[in-house]
Amino acid sequence: MKLDSIIIQMARFPELGCVKTRLNPELGEQGSLNLYLQLLRHVHDQAQQSQFTHVVALDKFGDHFLVNELAKQTAMILQQGDDLGERMFHAINWGLTLAYKVILIGSDCVVLNGGHFNQVIRALDDHSHAFIPAEDGGYVLVAATEAYEPIFKDIEWGTEVVMDKTKKALELGDKKAAYFSPLWDVDVAEDYHRLCSLYPNWPNNH
């Protein structure tokens, strides 16, 4: 029997020099890795505390203490595809074999929580897609009842035009999408300072 909804958390396998690299000038490679591990765990825990089935999709498998720890609680799958768009499309496609509604999230939005998941799932009753945009022009969450490939092709990922181009692709396909208030994620030094300002005890209280 199919699930109603599933959350798929996209994540990079944690390796020194391969995660949060835009923060290296501020934190160094080890500091960027440490922050990524904190964010990965935090977003994982927010999804785990929700009412939804939750899986983690890694870009590769390997032996790492945090991955091993999370794998004891949460199913892990391997991302498929050559770029982010392909990997997201395949993740949604896979999720829809198990559930009617799929929520796809990254691993760096600290303010995403169960309330947001509930909002987007309700929106999918009347829309094929729902998005929580990112303040930088991308999005921190996409939810869908279908795998619609055009929104994942020919997008300059990591740029300020991602959400605009996605909207245009949906409009061209005559798809009905819901958009919620933007949130922020942790990508650059300014975001890190914001994190430290809002959560002075980070990561001790997360």
pLDDT tens per residue, range 154-205: 999 989 999 999 999 999 999 999 999 999 999 999 999 999 999 988 876 4
DSSP state of 182: -
Question: Which CATH number is 3-198's, of 3.90.550.10, 3.30.70.1400, 3.60.9.10, 3.40.50.300?
Answer: 3.90.550.10
Distance, CA of 117 to CA of 144 (rounded, Å): 12
pLDDT-derived band at 117, boundaries 50, 70, 90: very high
The fraction of the chain above a pLDDT of 90, given in percent, is 94
pLDDT at 202: 86
What's this model's pTM, rounded to 2 decimal places?
Answer: 0.96
For residue 93, give the H/E element and its range: helix 84-95
Distance, CA of 177 to CA of 203 (rounded, Å): 35
Distance, CA of 34 to CA of 170 (rounded, Å): 37
pLDDT at 206: 44
The fraction of the chain above a pLDDT of 70, given in percent, is 99
Sign of the C-alpha dihedral computed for residues 205, 54, 107 and 164 taken in this order: negative
Structure-block tokens of residue 59: 């870009």
Mean pLDDT computed over 35-48: 96
Mean pLDDT computed over 85-111: 97
pLDDT at 204: 60
Distance from the Cα of residue 134 to its chain's centroid: 11
Structure-block tokens of residue 65: 């203490």
| Sheet with 3-11, side-by-side order of all strands | 75-78, 53-58, 3-11, 99-105, 139-144, 129-133, 177-179
- Bridge partners of 104, per DSSP, are 8, 142
Angle at 42 between CA 128 and CA 13, to 5 degrees: 80
pLDDT at 201: 87
Mean pLDDT value across the chain = 95
Mean pLDDT computed over 47-65: 96
Q: How far is CA 90 from CA 8, 10, 57, 78, 148, in A?
A: 11, 11, 11, 10, 10
